[in-house]
Amino acid sequence: MGIDSMRVGGGRCPPFLVGGLLIACLMLICSWWTLSTENIELVRQIDELNEELKISAEERDQCVTLRGNLEQRYKHAEDEVATLHVRLEQQAEIKKKNDKLEDSINMCTSELDSLNKLDATKTATLETLRLEKETFNTQLDSKRDENKKLLKEIDQLKDELDKAKLTCNTTPQKKAAFIPQPARPVINKIQLDPVPVSAVKISLTGQRGLKYHGIPILPKDPPGAKRLSPRFSVTMLKGSDTFLLPQEKRRLSQK
């Protein structure tokens, strides 16, 4: 009814109404177009934001994993630093021990040098002692040979002495006949007082038998005359071979 009342002249629409409707349609179309384009742009931005969110989530996961790796590496580095500190302390102790060992090695080398020098001196002294021993052994052998020769000579002298004793015991009267008579008279023992043994001093070994037999000694030769020792005497019978040995040496030296 309202539309019909608006009609003018037999039910026709007025032109301004059609123009208004057209303008409204155009405005609606323009607004729809703008809204659709804005909606498309917003959808596109939403998609981009979703993509960026996915990328950021992936990056966040990567950062988390990287952080975990860095924390592990940091812990590993701390462990390595601790081990390095321990190694440094051990190296310092080893260096101290090495210094002590070097000092002990130097002392040992010095002691070894001194021992080598001492060994050299000992070897030299041992060599000299060995040479001296060899010389002493040669001298001892020569002395032994000389002693053997002297013992043989002593045995010969003993044999000669035994033979002389036998000849003296068998023919005393014959030897007494050859004794020269003194020019002056002999004074007998009865005519003289006994002389003490301590008062008699004998310088010649050949006259000792007279002293020990109790016969007084009256020198017949003038004072200062040279008296030779007899070859055989009674005192030789009382001594051992040690007394005959210097006598024989003296006799050999006189020859």
Residue 141 has pLDDT above 50, yes or no: yes
Going from the C-alpha of 51 to that of each of 23, 39, 233, the distances in angstroms are: 41, 18, 156
Lowest mean pLDDT among 84-88, 97-101, 124-128, 185-189: 185-189
> What integer pLDDT is reported at residue 1 of this predicted model?
43
Question: pLDDT band at residue 103, thresholds of 50, 70 and 90?
Answer: very high
Question: pLDDT band at residue 69, thresholds of 50, 70 and 90?
Answer: very high
In a domain, 229, yes or no: no
Lowest mean pLDDT among 64-78, 111-125, 217-231, 239-253: 239-253
Q: What is the DSSP string of 101-139?
A: HHHHHHHHHHHHHHHHHHHHHHHHHHHHHHHHHHHHHHH
In a domain, 104, yes or no: yes
Question: pLDDT band at residue 75, thresholds of 50, 70 and 90?
Answer: very high
In a domain, 39, yes or no: yes
Spatial CA neighbour of 158 closest among 250, 229, 245: 245
* Average pLDDT of span 129-134: 91
> What integer pLDDT is reported at residue 239 of this predicted model?
47
Residue 212 has pLDDT above 60, yes or no: no
Residue 145 has pLDDT above 70, yes or no: yes
> Which DSSP state fits 51?
H
In a domain, 12, yes or no: no
Residue with the bigger pLDDT between 178 and 62: it is: 62
Question: pLDDT band at residue 90, thresholds of 50, 70 and 90?
Answer: very high
Residue 176 has pLDDT above 50, yes or no: no
| Structural domain of 105 | 18-164
* Average pLDDT of span 166-191: 55
Spatial CA neighbour of 209 closest among 237, 185, 182: 237
Tell me how many domains the chain contains: 1
- Contact call for residues 189 and 216 (beta carbons, < 8 A): yes
* Average pLDDT of span 226-244: 58
In a domain, 159, yes or no: yes
The residue with tokens 């001298």 is 139
Lowest mean pLDDT among 11-20, 21-30, 120-129: 11-20
In a domain, 211, yes or no: no
* Average pLDDT of span 142-169: 87
In a domain, 196, yes or no: no
> What integer pLDDT is reported at residue 243 of this predicted model?
47
In a domain, 57, yes or no: yes
Question: Quick one: tokens of 19?
Answer: 């123009």
* Average pLDDT of span 20-24: 88
Lowest mean pLDDT among 72-76, 96-100, 137-141, 249-253: 249-253
* Average pLDDT of span 5-12: 52
Residue 250 has pLDDT above 60, yes or no: no
